[in-house]
A and B are shown apart, each in its own frame.
Chain A
């Protein structure tokens, strides 16, 4: 059964949330998910772009009260 871990990257700026995501992707199993919390608007578009480039899976991206919740599934 897949697990989901949350990374709180609120308050930091590009490329902080992306680098936090990548560092944590190395620590989880294939099939597991990471949810990144970010207040950086640029990262909300950059992270899906990176996911598309390297071949992981975007699960969802939603914004609530100025905080983006970006959920990614590790595929390899």
Chain B
């Protein structure tokens, strides 16, 4: 029996282990969207989902080591998140990796455009990934875009 999307190890005569995939595309540089993407990634990763996050466009500069200006709030909720004791989105994403084995890949195109090396990116990130590979990984899973 061929493997079906979302089903890993579905081999004839063996019991299939079902793993639901959650794929998150993060392209926004606003605090609100970075925050919610990080919330979703962390909770999904610790709740038995197989999580892949793909970071591109205006989101990527926040994953470069060093002093980066805070992400603009965008709206009222973003301002409140800044004022109150909400978890930092970078901390949540790191927890997604450490506690839930999420894979967080920077987009290889965006890495090239930004002109940074892998060594300059946050250490919890996995290797840069191309869109073709991401689309292949995301096949059959839930896909969320922020």
Which residues from chain A sit less than 8 Å from chain B, CB to CB? 11-16, 18-19, 22-23, 26, 46, 50, 53-54
Contact = CB atoms under 8 A, between A and B. Distances in A.
A23 B95 contact: yes
Interface of B: 39, 42-43, 46-48, 84-87, 92, 95, 99
A53 B48 contact: yes
8 contacts: A12-B86, A13-B84, A15-B42, A18-B46, A19-B42, A50-B46, A50-B47, A53-B47
A12 B87 contact: yes
Contacts of A14: 39
A15 B43 contact: yes
A37 to B, nearest CB: 14
B47 A13 contact: no
Contacts of A16: 85-87
Contact of A19 (B46, B48, B84, B85): B46
Contacts of B43: 15, 18, 46, 50
A48 B103 CA distance: 26
B48 A54 contact: yes
Contacts of A26: 99
B78 to A, nearest CB: 14
A13 B86 contact: yes
A22 B43 CA distance: 10
Given A26-B99, A53-B48, A54-B47, A19 B86 contact: no
Nearest to A23: B99
A13 B81 CA distance: 9
Nearest to A49: B47
Nearest to A19: B95
Contact of B85 (A12, A18, A54): A12
Contacts of B46: 18-19, 22, 50
Contacts of A19: 42, 46, 87, 92, 95, 99
B85 A13 contact: yes
A70 B101 CA distance: 25
Given A14-B39, A15-B43, A19-B46, 13 more contacts: A12-B85, A12-B86, A12-B87, A13-B84, A15-B39, A16-B85, A18-B43, A18-B46, A22-B46, A50-B43, A53-B47, A54-B47, A54-B48
